[in-house]
Amino acid sequence: MYNSLSYKKNLVLMNNAQKIMSSVVLFFLAGLCEIGGGYLVWLWLREDFSWMLGAVGGFVLFLYGIVPTFQKTYFHRVYAAYGGVFIVMSVFWGWLIDGVHPDSYDIIGTIIAVIGVLIIFYYPRKGEKVWSR
């Protein structure tokens, strides 16, 4: 069925899909470390939990600093997209883990912000290189 040209094309596509997947996983992991670490520091200083939580939070924030070194994209627009993922993750964290229900302005604001990120990320441009290596 496959001639060699479409086989090669499929390889390239698969390779790209792999890169995108690993990039998404890394961003998700980074968001988890950044928000989780920040939350532990927050519990220490704002909710009077033990300083040990603060120390663990500091360490998790340090891990957050390590995660992007595995990232194969250097593209600042991808980091802008990470900001969008971060906004949504934070709202859910506040709601599900911190137990603070977002009000309607929180939800409207989140939707507007995500639209902004989609404009930055998905508006088609020609001839741009996203991946290094």
Partner 1 sequence: MVEVTATLGIFFFAALLEIGGGYLVWKWLKDHKTKIFGLVGALILFSYGIVMTLQPENFGKVYATYGGIFVVASIIWGYWVDKKKPDRFEIIGSAVVLIGVAVMFYFPR
Q: List interacting residues with partner 1 (CB under 8 A).
A: 34-35, 37-42, 45-46, 57-59, 61-62, 64-66, 68-69, 74, 76-77, 79-80, 82-84, 86-88, 90-95, 98, 100, 102-103, 105-106, 108-121, 123, 125
Report how far residue 104's alpha carbon sits from residue 83's, in angstroms, rounded to the nearest whole number.
21
Give min distance, CB of 64 to partner 1, in A: 7
Report how far residue 68's alpha carbon sits from residue 9's, in angstroms, rounded to the nearest whole number.
29
Which C-beta is closer to partner 1: that of 20 or that of 43? 43
Which C-beta is closer to partner 1: that of 20 or that of 63? 63
End-to-end CA distance of the chain: 31
Residue type, 64: Y
Which C-beta is closer to partner 1: that of 3 or that of 62? 62
Give min distance, CB of 13 to partner 1, in A: 26
Which C-beta is closer to partner 1: that of 4 or that of 99? 99
One-character DSSP codes across 60-108: HHHHHHHGGGG--B--HHHHHHHHHHHHHHHHHIIIIIS-----HHHHH
